[in-house]
Amino acid sequence: MFDHQACPVGEKFISATSYLPNRLLKGTCFISLSALCELTGSTDLQLDIRGLGKRYKGDVWGLKDFNLSIGAGVIGLLGPNGAGKSTLMRILATVTRPTEGQALWNGTEITDAPNDVRKILGYLPQDFGIYPNLNAVEFLTYLAAARGIGGTAATKRINQLLELVNLGDARKRKLGSLSGGMKQRVGIAQALLNDPQLLIVDEPTAGLDPEERIRFRNLLTELAGERIVILSSHIVSDIEAAANSIAIINKGHLLIHATPEELLQTVEGKVWETVIPESEMDALKKTHVIGNAGRTSEGVRVRVIGDRQPRSDARSVNPSIEDAYLLALDTDRNGHGDA
């Protein structure tokens, strides 16, 4: 749901012209946050979320009493569909306004100064819009101008980003002719145009092949030391590889925020692997949290998460972030890890 009072343009182009006031296109110059930090001697970045909530029609809460403090680095958001991840990201990206609570960027309420936040923000929404008749260079040049980047600086930055996202050879192809993965890479490039201090990316690896996913994960790791990066993905391995902290969300609530190492500790000694007849799978699902399962010549090899050994022949195995995620969701839904 898009909040037109928060931004009159539309979510697909919130990362474009709507980030800055119209006077920018008339030549007004803005100082970047990084330059401001150099002048003031301040380099600390902090995003504080306090009691944040978003209510939709029908008294449905997409987010409720959400609290989280984020410093420089990559934070990964994990949760099922409808958990509230995109709602949270749209609020932080100033696309929509919260119903209650606060989100503070370096102590300043985001809703009180949305234009200031947009100057240091890079945003890739889940549904990224393009102009199909423009090529990548034209599109990025247009967005760069909207953010106050022009001339040689814009050309240099665009060339760097197109090479970074492996689109150098497709720079003059119309966007409408690009594959879904290539369009996604254009979206990643536009989110990095203004070298943002707050980078919000919603499902950024959707449509990317394995090599491109690794390239993007490595890029996030490189960026993490000097900005706040908020990454949402359904691909647990992407979160595990790139994030230095992980927030698990369900039904609009924060279940846990911890480092990957701390999450692994929550399932230490609780992950088992066994092979069972296929006929026993339904019964096992009713009593235990089930992870990966795959058929073998001997039956179904299944990963089971719980406090107790599910079968006498089950062996203990090293836990994964996915195991911790599944256990956190099951505990939230049922109040326990196994029956």
One DSSP character per residue, 165-191 reads TT-GGGTTSBGGGS-HHHHHHHHHHHH
Higher pLDDT, 126 or 37: 126
The whole-number pLDDT of residue 42 equals 41
**Res 209: pLDDT:** 86
| Angstrom distance (rounded) from CA 2 to CA 235 | 25
| pLDDT tens digit sequence for 104-125 | 999 999 999 999 999 999 999 9
Domain around 233: 11-258
Helical H segments across 247-320, by residue range? 260-266, 281-287
Give the mean model confidence (pLDDT) for residues 115-140.
93
- Counting beta carbons within 10 angstroms of the beta carbon of residue 35, is it exposed (0 to 12), middle (13 to 18) or buried (19 or more)? exposed
Helix axes 180-191, 210-223, angle to 10 degrees: 10
Between residues 122 and 336, the one the model is more confident about = 122
Q: Is 10 helix (H, G, I), strand (E, B) or coil?
A: coil
- The alpha carbon of 294 is separated from its chain's Cα centroid by a whole number of angstroms, namely 29
Based on the domain organization, do 92 and 113 belong to the same domain? yes
Q: In this predicted structure, what is the pLDDT of residue 127? A: 83
Q: What pLDDT is stored for residue 38 in this prediction?
A: 40
Same domain, yes or no, for 296 and 170? no
- Domain end (from 231, 258, 285): 258
Pair 254, 277 in one domain: no
* Vertex 243 angle, CA 257 and 36, to 5°: 95
83-87's contacts with Cβ under 8 Å and 24+ in sequence apart are: 83/249, 83/250, 83/251, 83/252, 84/54, 84/249, 84/251, 84/252, 84/253, 85/202, 85/232, 85/249, 86/125, 86/126, 86/202, 86/232, 87/54, 87/62, 87/63, 87/252
Structure tokens at 183: 């369009």
What are 103's strand-pairing partners? 49
43: pLDDT confidence band, cut at 50, 70 and 90?
low
Task: Name the burial class of residue 205, with classes exposed (0-12), middle (13-18) and buried (19+) by CB atoms within 10 angstroms of its CB.
Answer: buried
Does 339 map to a domain?
Answer: no
Distances from the Cα of 137 to the Cαs of 16, 134, 150, in angstroms? 14, 8, 13
Q: Write down the pLDDT at residue 40.
A: 35
CA distance 128 to 133: 16
pTM for the full model? 0.82
* Beta partners for residue 275, in sequence order: 301
Residue 22 lies in a domain: yes
Q: Which helix (H) or strand (E) holds 35?
A: helix 33-40
Residues 170 and 300 placed together within one structural domain of the fold: no
Q: Are residues 17 and 78 in the same domain?
A: yes
CB 9 within 8 A of CB 17: yes
Q: For 199-243, what is each residue's pLDDT tens digit? A: 999 988 877 888 888 888 888 887 777 899 999 988 898 899 999
**What CATH code is carried by the domain that includes residue 196?**
3.40.50.300
Of 237, 258, 279, the domain-final residue: 258
- Say if residue 175 is in the same domain as residue 210: yes
Domains contained in the chain, number: 2
CA dihedral 169, 173, 179, 183 (to 10 degrees): 90
The rounded distance, in Å, linking the Cα atoms of 100 and 108 is 16
Same domain, 99 and 154: yes
1-5, 78-82, 279-283: segment of lowest average pLDDT:
1-5
Q: To the nearest whole number, what is the mean pLDDT of the chain?
A: 86
- The pLDDT of residue 106 is 94
State the pLDDT at residue 123: 95
Q: For residue 22, give the 3-state DSSP assignment.
A: helix
Domain assignment present for 6: no
- Cα 227 off chain centre by: 14
88: confidence class by pLDDT, cuts 50, 70, 90: very high
The pair of three-digit structure tokens given for residue 12, joined into one six-digit string: 């697909």
Instruction: Please state whether beta strands 198-202 and 228-232 pair in parallel, antiparallel, or not at all (unpaired).
Output: parallel
Which residue has 């929404």 as its token pair? 125
Confidence at residue 9, expressed as pLDDT on a 0 to 100 scale: 33
Task: Compare 139 and 32 and report the one with higher pLDDT.
Answer: 139
Sign of CA dihedral 6, 196, 92, 242: positive
- The pLDDT value recorded for residue 211 is 85
Q: State whether 179 and 67 are in the same domain.
A: yes
User: pLDDT: is 221 or 300 the higher one?
Assistant: 300
Query: What confidence category does residue 31 fall into, taking pLDDT thresholds of 50, 70 and 90?
Result: very low
pLDDT band at 13 (very low <50, low <70, confident <90, very high): very low
pLDDT number for residue 208: 81
191 and 282 in a single domain? The answer is no
Regarding whether 285 and 138 lie in a shared domain, the answer is no
**pLDDT of residue 305 exceeding 70:** yes
For residues 286 and 179, state if they share a domain.
no
Mean per-residue pLDDT for 87-94? 96
Residues in contact with 163: Cβ distance below 8 Å, sequence separation at least 6, in sequence order: none
Residues 164 and 236 grouped into a single domain: yes
Going by pLDDT thresholds of 50, 70 and 90, the confidence category of residue 336 is low
